[in-house]
Amino acid sequence: MSNVAENPTLEVVPEEEVMSKEDVLNFLIATGVNNCNRSYENPHKEMRNLFINMSLSEIAPTWDHLDDAVKVAVINAHIDEFKTWVNNG
C-alpha cells in the first residue's frame, strides 16, 4: 500500500515556482517604471519618458508587470506603430 493510501490527509504541495534571472529583472524594471510614473520628481519623470519611448520589443517582456497608466502611456508613445499593426492585421 502506498503512503498516500495509508495517510489520506496528505496533501500535494505544489512545487515552488523558481523565477529566472530575466523574470526577476523584468519585474524590477517594471516596478521602477511604475514608481517613476507616480513620482513628481523630474529625474523620475525623465526615466519614465525614456522607458516608454524605448522600442516595443524592449518593453514587451515587462508588460505584464506594468501599471495600467504606464501601459496607456506606452501605447500613446507608440501610437503610429499600433495603428500600422492594427491596419495590417
Partner 1 sequence: MSLTSKQIKEKLASKGLSEIFHRYRTNDTVEKMRKATISHPDILSNHYNAIDNHTSLNEVFKSASQYEIDLYTIPFWKTKIDEMTKKVKDSARELFYGNADYIISAARMVPGFDWKGLFEVVAPYQNDVNYMRHSYSSIAREYSKTNSSAFKDYVNENIFYTKEKKPAYPVRGLMYSLFVKQGFLTKKTARKIRSDGSEDASMSGLRALTEDLDLYSNSDELLLQFTDSKYEQVIGHLADNLPEHLLPSIMGTEFYWPKRKLEKRLERIEREKIEKRRLAEQETSLFDEVVKVVCGQP
Q: Which residue has the cell 498516500?
A: 4
39 vs 84, beta carbon nearer partner 1 = 39
Q: By rule CB under 8 A, what string of x and - marks binding of each residue 25-64 to partner 1? A: x-xxxxxxx-xx-------x-xx--xx--xx--x------
d(CA 25, CA 19): 10
Q: Which residues contact 77 (CB under 8 A, 6 or more apart)?
A: 52, 53
The reply to whether 66 sits near partner 1 by the rule CB under 8 A is no
We find the least distance from the C-beta atom of residue 22 to partner 1, in angstroms, to be 10
**In contact, 77 and 50? CB cutoff 8 Å:** no
**In contact, 37 and 69? CB cutoff 8 Å:** yes
Total binding residues for partner 1 by CB under 8 A? 22
Site residues, partner 1 (CB under 8 A): 19, 21, 23-25, 27-33, 35-36, 44, 46-47, 50-51, 54-55, 58
